[in-house]
Structure 1
Amino acid sequence: MTSALAPIASSEKVGQIRAVCFDIDDTLVDYVTSSRRGLAALVGHDDAWPLWERVTEMQLARYLAGEVDYETMRRERTRAFFAELGVELADSELEEREELRVAAMRAAWEVYEDVWPCLDWLRAAGLRIAAITNASGPLQRMKIADLGLAEVFDHVIIAGELGVAKPDPAIFHTASVALGLPPEQVMHVGDRLDVDAVGARDAGMHGVWLDRGDTHAEVPQGVLAIATLDELPEALVCDVAPVGT
């Protein structure tokens, strides 16, 4: 079902915000569902999802720190995951299982139903759109292209390519420079309160926490919380500070 958003003329002011940046996974794309499908292809079930998440965080941190390249990170993650299960895999089997996992995950990639109405509204309002994601470059760019998002973004800032990850202010400032705007004219929306919303706020942007899980955690000062992207246009329209020309 597609949510209907009130139209806005491209000349209508939407406050001081000139661009909106988005996190990708679990903000625009249902990452958990697709990743659990990939894990099921890897081991026959997704019961070990918490273990996979933990191993992924550890190996991704090494990749983002520049300690290993992308392909090494993928192999070492799968090797470490199976080692935790008491299974030792040969290199050839590692590659085969990883290919199965990626194929299953790729087939399950989907954007949330509130994504396209929101993106269309932002474009109609004359706002620029970018992505800031804590991911590795190759798979994330594949995902963005597969889902048609590559044509929407003016810029895509990927931690694995930049060497700096959210919530480091440098990645947010990189997006601002790419957009040609000061941070105070940019909004960033993401599903992680600390990494996305607070990180963006601390970098001088407008931080928005997309709480899809209805966790109702305490929202710190200077952060806006929304439960769906359907709420984003209203938040922008209510920001009545004039837009510069």
Structure 2
Amino acid sequence: MRSGHARTATNRAEIKAVCLDVDDTLVDFTRAARSALFALIGRDDMWPAWQRATDEFVARCVSGELDSTTMRELRTKAFFAEQLGIQLDDHTVTALEARRLTRMCAAWRLFPDVVPCLDWLRAAGLRIAAVTNASGGPQQHAKLADMGITRYFDAVLIAGELGAAKPDPRIFHAACQRLHVQPHQTVHIGDRLDLDAVGARDAGLHGVWLNRDTTDQHPTPPPDIHQIADLEDLPELLVWHYATVPTPRR
């Protein structure tokens, strides 16, 4: 386990629920999305620019300005124009985006630590929510179903449906309400230190940063943010740090 917490029961908060981010926490989203973009443009160096464009247009979708389909097509059109100098007509954009989306969805895979962790959380009697900043509700529900993990979740919170995205406290509080728990009884885990772990902490939950990056080039989390290297470490963190987590049923 990465040195993100002490092996002592220092916090006696009664944990009743766990929230998990979806993309790059449960599902290897970046690998699938990056390969789909490469198939579309034949270049891998444009990924950071694609991410920036995606963040901009997803924010417009979450705010209610755009629906998810329009958002994706406008994002792709703007990306080609601004980054590649190519002006695409609407018909071509629709075809390209459909091709990219199909390839990306076909490449989604769960990380190997996901199902064992979800099994443990369910056996421990904890309530579980998926909390994602994704813009499209139907696509996210389909993703969870295709990955075979819908059954684990007592609630699914999608930014595009709720109109609020992490680190906005509203999405964390909505998750707690749907799980019928208080924020201080809830742990949230995600791959983004800022949006997931710090955002959850600032909303009154316990934030845990899932840092799957094996390099040393990553920020140092604040002292009140726990860090784990994979979801195999989560049960140990919950048992040792949050001492009142129930023992899983056998």
TM-score above 0.5, yes or no: yes
Aligned to 2:209, the other structure's residue is in SS state: strand
Letter of the structure 2 residue corresponding to residue 109 of structure 1: W
Letter of the structure 1 residue corresponding to residue 54 of structure 2: T
Distance 2:236 2:242 in 1: 11
1:183 deviates by: 0.7
Match of 2:142 in 1: 142
Matched ranges for 1:71-86 at <5 A: 71-84=69-82, 85-86=84-85
1:238 aligns with 2:240: yes
Match of 1:125 in 2: 124
Superposed structure 1 runs of 4+ greater than 4 Å apart: none
Structure 1 residues 83-128: Cα deviation after superposition (integer angstroms, max 9, x where no partner): 0211111111111111110111011100111111111111111111
Distance 1:124 1:116 in 2: 12
1:226 deviates by: 0.6
Matched ranges for 1:8-157 at <5 A: 16-84=14-82, 85-136=84-135, 137-157=137-157
Aligned to 1:238, the other structure's residue is in SS state: helix
1:15 deviates by: 6.6
Distance 1:243 1:152 in 2: 18
Letter of the structure 2 residue corresponding to residue 237 of structure 1: V
Match of 1:221 in 2: 223
Letter of the structure 2 residue corresponding to residue 196 of structure 1: D
Distance 1:121 1:185 in 2: 18
8 Å Cα contact 2:24/2:30 also seen in 1: yes
Aligned to 1:130, the other structure's residue is in SS state: strand
Letter of the structure 2 residue corresponding to residue 188 of structure 1: H
Distance 2:242 2:182 in 1: 18
Letter of the structure 1 residue corresponding to residue 129 of structure 2: A
Aligned CA distance change for structure 1 residues 174 and 240 (closer, same or farther; 3 Å): closer
Structure 2: stretches of 5+ with no match in the other structure: 1-11
Normalised to the residue count of structure 2, the TM-score between the two structures is 0.88
Distance 2:64 2:207 in 1: 28
Structure 1 residues 29-71: Cα deviation after superposition (integer angstroms, max 9, x where no partner): 1111000121123223433212211111111111112211212
Aligned to 1:148, the other structure's residue is in SS state: coil
1:241 deviates by: 4.4
Letter of the structure 1 residue corresponding to residue 177 of structure 2: V
Distance 2:123 2:117 in 1: 10
Letter of the structure 2 residue corresponding to residue 110 of structure 1: R
Structure 1 residues 158-197: Cα deviation after superposition (integer angstroms, max 9, x where no partner): 0010000100111100000000000111100001111100
8 Å Cα contact 1:190/1:196 also seen in 2: yes
1:188 aligns with 2:188: yes
Structure 1 residues 132-157: Cα deviation after superposition (integer angstroms, max 9, x where no partner): 10011232222111111212111000
Aligned to 1:111, the other structure's residue is in SS state: coil
8 Å Cα contact 2:164/2:170 also seen in 1: yes
8 Å Cα contact 1:16/1:185 also seen in 2: yes
1:216 deviates by: 4.7
8 Å Cα contact 1:183/1:204 also seen in 2: yes
RMSD: 1.7
8 Å Cα contact 1:15/1:238 also seen in 2: no
1:21 deviates by: 0.5
Q: Percent identity?
A: 56
8 Å Cα contact 2:36/2:100 also seen in 1: yes
